[in-house]
Amino acid sequence: MRQCPASSQRWTMQPTLVILLTMTTFSLADAKTHLSRLVAQVSGQHERVYVTVHGRPSAVLLATEDLESLEETIEILADADAMRRLRASDTEIARGEAETQEDLAAAMQRRHAKG
């Protein structure tokens, strides 16, 4: 493992998932002209398209899947019991109490064998 240049701390390598959401802005007139292409772009590439009226953001074109995902996230965040369970799960993981993939696969096989 490499040393940090200015300290005795060590760098750690952790896998990271990065999702880049691109944003495009169109005037209402341009959005009308290119609506079919914009819808295909939004749904195929999960890109958000902002539509402006008189230079000010007025609407957003968003893929249906992305909207559903945002709505589900809001629903979970608004559910106090779900948030409590998520925090408890995070605590269990931090203590090393998480199940491995192999453990879960074995449990599923046992359940399937019972019928």
- Please report the pLDDT score of residue 69 as a whole number: 93
**48 lies in the same domain as 84:** no
**96 occurs within a structural domain:** yes
pLDDT tens-digit series, residues 93-106: 888 888 888 988 99
**100 occurs within a structural domain:** yes
Count of domains for the chain = 2
**83 lies in the same domain as 59:** no
**55 occurs within a structural domain:** yes
CATH of the domain at 25: 3.40.1620.10
- Please report the pLDDT score of residue 14 as a whole number: 59
Closest CA to 22 of 33, 34, 10, 38: 38
DSSP, res 96: T
- Band of the pLDDT at 114, cuts 50, 70, 90? confident
Q: Which helix (H) or strand (E) holds 58?
A: strand 56-61
Kindly state the average pLDDT of the residues 7-15: 53
pLDDT tens-digit series, residues 40-90: 999 999 889 999 999 999 999 999 999 999 999 999 999 999 999 999 998
Q: Give me the half-sphere count of Cα atoms (radius 13 Å) on the Cβ side of residue 23.
A: 7
Task: Tell me the residue type at 45.
Answer: Q
**pTM for the whole thing?**
0.58
**31 lies in the same domain as 55:** yes
- Please report the pLDDT score of residue 10 as a whole number: 53
Q: Between 36 and 11, where is the model more confident?
A: 36
How far is it, in rounded angstroms, from Cα 15 to Cα 52? 38
Its domain, for residue 33, covers: 19-63
**59 lies in the same domain as 89:** no
